[in-house]
Amino acid sequence: MKKCLVLGAGGFIGGHLVKRLKSQGHYVRGVDIKEHEYTDLPSDQFYVLDLRSESNVRQAMTLTTDRGLETFDEVYQLAADMGGAGYIFTGDNDADVMHNSAMINMNVAKVACEFEEKPKVFYSSSACIYPEHNQLDPDNPNCKEDSAYPANPDSEYGWEKLFSERMFMSYNRNYGLDIRIARFHNIFGPEGSWDNGKEKAPAALCRKVAEAEENGEIEIWGDGKQTRSFLYVDECLEAVERLMDSDCLDPVNIGSEEMISINDFALLIAKVAGKNVKLNNIPGPLGVRGRNSDNDFFEERIGWRVSLPLEDGVQKTYKWIAEQVKETINA
């Protein structure tokens, strides 16, 4: 049994990670600035703490058992100030996004090194670190791990993620902190934000389709020809586990290679819902024109490749969001 600490456990991926670790029989403490909004977590402990405070991070990482003071075997650092395109790409939240996330990451790295037996630390970075100039062609984006430099992320969120990657790698070189870094590519699934302004494209589009009448209209930001790949959360966590069990210290992509335009993605969701909808393309925050995970390096180093078809994940996600929409309407 491993002793695991999940920072950001009140969020979408963190909540699913807590459930996975507990299902495997591990001791799990979850920590976040808020309780999980959409599910009851089975964690052994859950602390509500603001991780921008170094003392709070120290409290989160301190494990006292009947054997005395112990160290967590694994720390999963997923806590961040983040959201979808409407939150990240307007520019209105740049200062908070950079300050809040950087403070958390600096605290985690520093405090982890205070323990005689340092924990292994997983850091969730993002595909947003990749240069904007490599993602201008929606049909042929370049998101290989070694394309990250010369650096030119398209958002302050991406710049902070890149900084924190380098910081954790510096703590590895200077203080021997055992780290694993994954660049997540649009992870989606149930039990995450879907209507609070921080939802990402899959949840937002599922909500719009669920709310639409038959032959109704849904709004799509931009021309809808921008491309992305989306990875279902269960496969994301399988990849994280395999990365943690490996000796790979280099940042790796965790994402799907099944690229799709936003217009086609919306129509796929409508197909899953059994609805006919019309797309109304309107101005809105977009991000890069094209983004698709490149998983060659992950397969080379870890020996595994994601395989779940996009439609399978959409079916599970749409079902959950449609239920939330129905409950809201009937409330």
How many Cβ atoms are within 10 Å of 300's Cβ, its own excluded? Answer: 10
Largest CA distance in the chain: 63
Spatial contact of 190 and 316, defined as CB atoms under 8 Å apart: yes
Strand 179-184 vs strand 252-254: parallel, antiparallel, or unpaired?
Answer: parallel
Q: Is 47 a catalytic residue?
A: no
Candidate list 87, 123, 130, 157, residue with the active-site label: 157
Q: How are beta strands 3-7 and 27-32 bridged, if at all?
A: parallel
Tokens of 117: 């037996």
**312 Cα distance to chain centroid:** 19
- As annotated, the active-site residues are 157
